[in-house]
């Protein structure tokens, strides 16, 4: 295996943290991958990978080498793409991540558009309600709601998202509609850990920002579970607007305390610039930005 392929094998092992998984990803055998890593280590005169019977992890030198190798491979990929001619013949694989429900409703249409435009590409979509480390987990493009962009990534603002409180009409008829954030103490609260992990909920009032500590009667680990519980009349929950949009449109949920909502959260399309963004990433970012920036898209 030549040096460039050995570097690719090293990246696969680092990202998969498993020799067999890296071999499956590259369509070769674990023995070939093992020989490639051993050859790299012998050539460099350093230990890159620590192996046990159950796990694989990088040495400190290996982690630094991984960062450098990713830049080199990105540059090589860019050179091939440039030499091949137009973007219409883009080939390769793209890893994309976004919050779970947002990914399905807003990013999946972009992936479908991208694959229709570039049929030689393949895409893996990781729709997860956690912040994915783009470099550590080998992800090319992310859509993020809230939080300040990190200094080592390219972040393109595409809009903002309200975080709303909502409950079912039956619940509000039985328990009343709160008129001020302080009245939440008299209500049943449903907390989705991924959206509202902090027990102190922030609001805006005529006298300025206020914080209300809530004591959830029900805590769930997924946003769709919180939506479902609220629609069943179990209490009041706080979610991003898109997560409850369909039930709000059907009037199975209603927004409460709309006049006291905190400032909307920014939405960014994020990617790592490893010495020059590749054509496949640029093309997908363009699709995302066009779609998500349209009025009313988010």
Q: Are 135 and 271 contained in the same domain?
A: yes
Identify which has the larger pLDDT, 78 or 2: 2
- The CATH number of residue 46's host domain is 1.10.10.10
Q: Are 140 and 278 contained in the same domain?
A: yes
- The CATH number of residue 169's host domain is 3.40.190.10
Q: Are 32 and 148 contained in the same domain?
A: no
Q: Are 182 and 254 contained in the same domain?
A: yes
Q: Are 189 and 273 contained in the same domain?
A: no
Least confident window among 4-13, 24-33, 142-151, 186-195: 142-151
115-171: pLDDT as tens digits: 999 999 999 999 988 888 887 788 899 999 987 667 677 889 998 999 999 999 999
Q: Are 254 and 243 contained in the same domain?
A: yes
Q: Are 99 and 76 contained in the same domain?
A: no
Kindly indicate the confidence band of residue 259, based on its pLDDT and cuts at 50, 70 and 90. very high
What's the confidence (pLDDT) of residue 55?
73
Q: Are 136 and 277 contained in the same domain?
A: yes
Does a structural domain hold residue 229? Answer: yes
Domain end (from 68, 83, 98)? 83
- Domain of 132 in residue numbering reads as 87-158+266-292
Q: Are 37 and 123 contained in the same domain?
A: no
Residue-wise DSSP of 174-208:
HH---SSGGGGGGS-EEEETTT--SSEEEEEETTE
Q: Are 214 and 258 contained in the same domain?
A: yes
CB atoms within 10 A of CB 102: 23
Q: Are 60 and 150 contained in the same domain?
A: no
Of residues 71, 105, 93, the one with CA closest to residue 141? 93
What's the confidence (pLDDT) of residue 87?
47
Of residues 130, 199, 198, 203, the one with CA closest to residue 165? 203
Domain end (from 83, 110, 139)? 83
Q: Are 46 and 138 contained in the same domain?
A: no
Under 8 Å CB-to-CB from 27, ≥6 apart: which residues?
none
Q: Please name the helix (run of DSSP H) or strand (run of DSSP E) that holds residue 42, with its range, or none.
A: helix 30-44
Distance in angstroms (rounded) separating the CA atoms of residues 151 and 266: 16
User: Whole-model pTM above 0.85?
Assistant: no
Domain end (from 30, 55, 83)? 83
Q: Based on the structure, what is the number of domains in the chain?
A: 3
Q: What angle do CA 138, 196, 230 make, to 5 degrees?
A: 115
Does a structural domain hold residue 298? Answer: no
Of residues 248, 62, 74, 66, the one with CA closest to residue 169? 248
Does a structural domain hold residue 297? Answer: no
């Amino acid at each position: 295996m030549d040096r460039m392929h050995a570097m690719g094998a090293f990246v696969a092992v680092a990202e998969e943290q498993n020799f067999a998984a890296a071999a499956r990803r590259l369509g070769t055998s674990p023995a070939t991958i093992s020989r490639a890593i051993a050859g790299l280590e012998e050539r460099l005169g350093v230990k890159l990978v620590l192996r046990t019977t159950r796990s694989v992890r990088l040495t400190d030198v290996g982690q630094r080498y991984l960062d450098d190798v990713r830049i080199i491979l990105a540059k090589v990929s860019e050179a091939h793409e440039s030499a091949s001619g137009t973007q219409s013949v883009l080939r390769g694989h793209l890893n994309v991540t976004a919050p779970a429900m947002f990914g399905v409703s807003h990013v999946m249409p972009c992936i479908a558009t991208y694959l229709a435009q570039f049929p030689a590409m393949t895409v893996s979509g990781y729709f997860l309600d956690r912040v994915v480390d783009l470099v550590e987990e080998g992800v090319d493009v992310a859509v993020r709601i809230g939080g300040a962009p990190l200094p080592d990534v390219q972040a393109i603002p595409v809009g903002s998202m309200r975080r709303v409180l909502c409950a079912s009409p039956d619940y509000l008829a039985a328990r009343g509609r709160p008129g001020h954030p302080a009245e939440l103490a008299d209500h049943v609260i449903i907390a989705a850990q991924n959206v509202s992990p902090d027990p102190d909920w922030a609001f805006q009032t005529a006298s300025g920002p206020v914080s209300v500590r809530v004591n959830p009667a029900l805590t769930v680990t997924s946003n769709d579970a919180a939506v479902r519980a609220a629609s069943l009349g179990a209490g009041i929950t706080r979610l991003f607007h898109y997560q409850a949009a369909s039930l709000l449109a059907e009037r199975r949920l209603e927004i409460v305390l709309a006049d006291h909502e905190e400032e909307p959260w920014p939405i960014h399309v994020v990617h790592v610039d490893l010495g020059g963004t590749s054509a496949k990433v640029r093309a997908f970012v363009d699709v995302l930005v066009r779609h998500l920036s349209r009025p009313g898209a988010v």
